[in-house]
Amino acid sequence: MTESGIFCTNAEVVRKIGENGSATQILEATTNDFISQAESHINAATEYNWSDAYATLNVDVKGILKEAASNLAAYYCVSMNPNSWTISTSTFKLNALWNGYVDCLKILSEKDKGQIFVKEA
């Protein structure tokens, strides 16, 4: 199987899942699926198709997209089997990943508004 994500890689998601992730959580097919879902979610939540514009984006914007997609995909992976860790560790991981994702969405939404302003000005 090959990488299917635009914003991030399987390895980046696996790093965020961390040690003791189950074989299913770190499986390339699993991370590919969750990366695809995360990318679609980011596009819908920010009301901008970052996937189509990706090649033309600034490296900093690409970095925020990478962070957002890998956080959300890792969140999904940890959620599918939180018993891979203690409940406190799983809770910490889920909170950190979700908070990072939400912070990225805020930045991307502001960036999108700026792009609309420049296009329509």
- From first to last of its 121 residues, the chain has per-residue pLDDT tens of 677 799 999 999 999 999 999 988 999 999 999 999 999 999 999 989 999 999 998 888 899 999 999 999 999 999 999 999 999 999 999 999 999 999 999 888 876 565 553 344 3
- Tell whether 24 is covered by a domain: yes
- Tell whether 2 is covered by a domain: no
- Tell whether 72 is covered by a domain: yes
Q: What is the CA 35 to chain-centroid distance, rounded? A: 6
- Tell whether 53 is covered by a domain: yes
Total domains present in the chain: 1
- Tell whether 54 is covered by a domain: yes
- Tell whether 28 is covered by a domain: yes
Residues 79 and 83: their CA atoms lie apart, in Å, by 9
Range of the domain at 91: 10-120
Residue identified by tokens 């990478």 is: 66
Q: What is the CA 43 to chain-centroid distance, rounded? A: 11
- Tell whether 3 is covered by a domain: no
Provide the token pair at 36.
């695809």
- Tell whether 44 is covered by a domain: yes
